[in-house]
Every structure is written in structure tokens, then in C-alpha cells.
Structure 1
Amino acid sequence: MGQCESYPNSRVGEQAAVRRSDAKFKSGAVAVNVAGFHYDYTNLQATTTVGGVSTLQNAGSAEIYGIDADASFRASDDLTLTMGAAWLHARYDAFPNASLVEMPTDPDFDGVLDGRTDVSGQRMIRAPKFTVNGLIDYHHDFDAGRLALSLNGFYSTKVRMALESRIEQDAYFTGNARIAFSPADTGATLSVFARNFTNAKVLGSTFINPSADAVIYSPPRQIGVGLNYSF
């Protein structure tokens, strides 16, 4: 069923009217969940950087709506497949006086390092338009022990990381894989794993200032072996 409510956000004065509808389906080994949602924000607060110091600023209003769905298929007692996807519309309806850190190299630099810009109608930061994720999980018990394999992946379209449009995360795909074997009656598990096996460059955090924009990336590709023991 759909629902509508208005509630204050964790930031003082920020409110959102929320509507959400959910549908679920399950038949045998298949389960599907679909949800549609709509958030209408008023007195929205946004974190901006002024003079190198992060501060809260009134961003006016914003609208977010979209659809997310996930499905799982239990192919056998040993194998489960899961997939999810989401589409998101997220824009500032009114943000006429956003504080931005400009740089002299910006094409529209007006001579003021900390400037004011109307970003009304622009996409909200850290809000990808489309994401997809998937998981393959397999395990089987043999006389010699248990074999387990897992493979997951995640795709995201381009994301604005800050109100300054020059700071963006390009579209990327990343994934993790693991194969493990637990010899029977030993308590030990031997594994080989790969994290971010596509070696995608994913921005974790940013620090914006007039002289240079600093970014911290999530870990690159990691390949290793593991040994766990349970007493």
C-alpha cells in the first residue's frame, strides 16, 4: 500500500513529504520486490564549503522520486541468484544562492574564490541516476568438506560528488569474488579472494578548496588468500 506522511529530518527545520508504494511477489523459488517512492523536501539543508570550512546552508527545496526493485531465484539448494536495480530522479527545485569554491582555472571564474551560484534544477550530489547490483552465491557439501563460491557486482552511472560540478565520479562497475573450502571436521577455511576485481576508480571522499581539490579513492584491486580457524 502507498503511504504519505510529513516528518522532520535530523537537521532542524528540514521536512519531507513522503509517499511510498510497495509490491511483493513470491512463487516457489522466485521472489520479487518493487517499490516506488517520492520525497518532496522543504527547508532542505545542504553541506557546503565556504573559506575551506564545511557549513550547513539552506538549499530551499528538492524533489526525489524513483523505483527500486530486487529479485532472487533459488536455482537449487546450493545456488542462489540475486539481482537489484534502482532508478532515481533527484534535483534541487530551488537552490538560488549556493556557496561554491571556485578556482582560477574554472571557465566561468569571476575573480571571487568563494562564490554564489544558482544551482536550481541541477541534479543533487551523490545521487546516481541508475544503479544495478547482482550476486551469485553457491555452496556444496562434499565428503571432504564444504566448497563455497560467491561473486557480486555493482554498477553506477555518473555521480556529482559536490555542488562544484568539476568534482564528479564517472560511471563505474566493480565487483568482488571469493572461493573457499572448509575441510570436514577441522574448523579451518581456506579462501582466495578478489576485491574490486575490475580495479575501478571510485571516489570515497573529497576535500574542496581554492588551491586544489583533494580526493580519496576507495581501495584498488586487491587479490589475496585467507585462512580462518574456528575453535
Structure 2
Amino acid sequence: MLAMFHQEWQRQGRDSVPARLAIVDDDPQSQFMFPEFRLAQQMLEARGIETVILDPSELDYTNGVLTARGRPIDMVYNRLVDFALEAPNHRALRHAYLDNAVVVTPNPRVHALMADKRNLILLSDARTLREWGLNETEAGYLEKAVPDTRLVSAEDAETLWSNRRRLFFKPVAGHGSKGVYRGEKLTRRVFEDILKGDYIAQNFVPAGERTLRIDGEVTTRKVDIRLYTYAGQLLLAAARVYQGQATNFRTSGGGFAPVFQV
């Protein structure tokens, strides 16, 4: 983890190490992952990097310097889900980032390149993959892994509506399964709202299931696998266990689970 922060620091044109780093999220103490923020804080401070956990409203950008609580911030570990930093209370961080006055990781450019769901349109297109120079094996992996994806537009409304039972609709910049809809449960009113927003439609792929014993009772839960990577290297494989349309932390017996490779 420390090596990744150091790489991000250097990639954005800095040398040495940051003196003061801020972990930033909206109302951080209310976040489900707040204990993770504290762990990161402890690890960074153990290496001599002063680390604070902040709400973005605590940031101020004046005369080319980003500060919090009266002292400069050199680097921001960004946990906000406003990926483009467009919200009014994220203005100070946005301006400091655009002026290269602070190192932000992950930042809007990284999200646009790597996480915008419109990228899935390209990654699910066999011809595009081959034009990029992927060999048959590499292209085959992506064809199997990425469901066919298209951009939602009003021009395709009737086709999308008639095929909705085979589709899953997602906002292009969404997170945490917010604003997603399984087509077979879609109402016409919600569909009209989707047409007005920035959405993709993917071929629906049912979630895998596993049989578990929870409180002595045998039951089933949905499972998906998450691969956490950095700079093309796998860091961790973990599973999300859940019930319902999308992953959540409310399911009894659900949450994160380890993945064992055999």
C-alpha cells in the first residue's frame, strides 16, 4: 500500500514523500468503511506521513495552496464517489487538483480512463479488440468476461424496451449498485428516466450462487468475485456474498468473503 502511494506521488511529478496526507470522504465517520480509513491512517503515520481523515468541506484552496485546519495538504487519498469532483462542496479539491497543487489518488482522469462504464462498450466489441491488436486468446477472454454493452439513447428506445427483459441498465458513472435496474422489473416511467440520463445497457448475466450454512441453517447466497489490481498487478481476490438485485452489506451472512485458489 505504501509503495502504491509513493508511485502515485512520483507519477504526478513529485519527489521525496508527502509531509501531510488527507483521507477524504463525505462525512467520513458515517461511512461503512471508516475502520479501513483508520487502518490506512495508522499505516501511513507509522512511516512518518502525517495523516488526517477529513470531510471535503474542511478543505480550503487559496493562493495555490490546499489546506485543512490551517495547514497544507500535499496528497489526498480520495474516497469520494463524486468521481469528477463536480459537487459544490468538492470545489476546493477540484480546483487544487486541476491546478496541480495537490496529488489526488485516485483522481478524475484515472476514473475516466479506467472506470467509466462506457469503456465496457469497447471492451465487449470483438472487432474493436482485434483492431487494438489483441490476439485471439486475449480477445476471447474479454468476450467471455464482458457482457455485450451498448449506450442507451432515445433513438434506440423501442428496441431497448422490447428487449429489456434480457438487459441490465447501469449509470455510466455510478457506484455501489446505485441507480441500476434489471430490465425485467423496469416500469415505463423509470425507463423514460433512464433515457434522459447517461446509462449503458448490458446483456443480463445471472449471478453465481453458493450454498452456505448460516446460524446452523443451510441456504444459498449470490456471489461475485472482485479482483483488486494496481498498475496491471493483482493485489487481492475477494468475494461479495449477498441477496437481492445488487451487492449490499445488509444481507444476513453476507459481506466480504475470502477466495481460495485451488
TM-score under structure 1 length normalisation: 0.23
* Higher helix proportion (structure 1 or 2): 2
Tell me the TM-score normalized by structure 2: 0.21
Write 1 or 2 for the structure with the bigger share of strand: 1
Structure number with larger C-alpha Rg: 1
Question: Larger RCO: Structure 1 or Structure 2 (Cα < 8 Å, ≥ 6 residues apart)?
Answer: 1
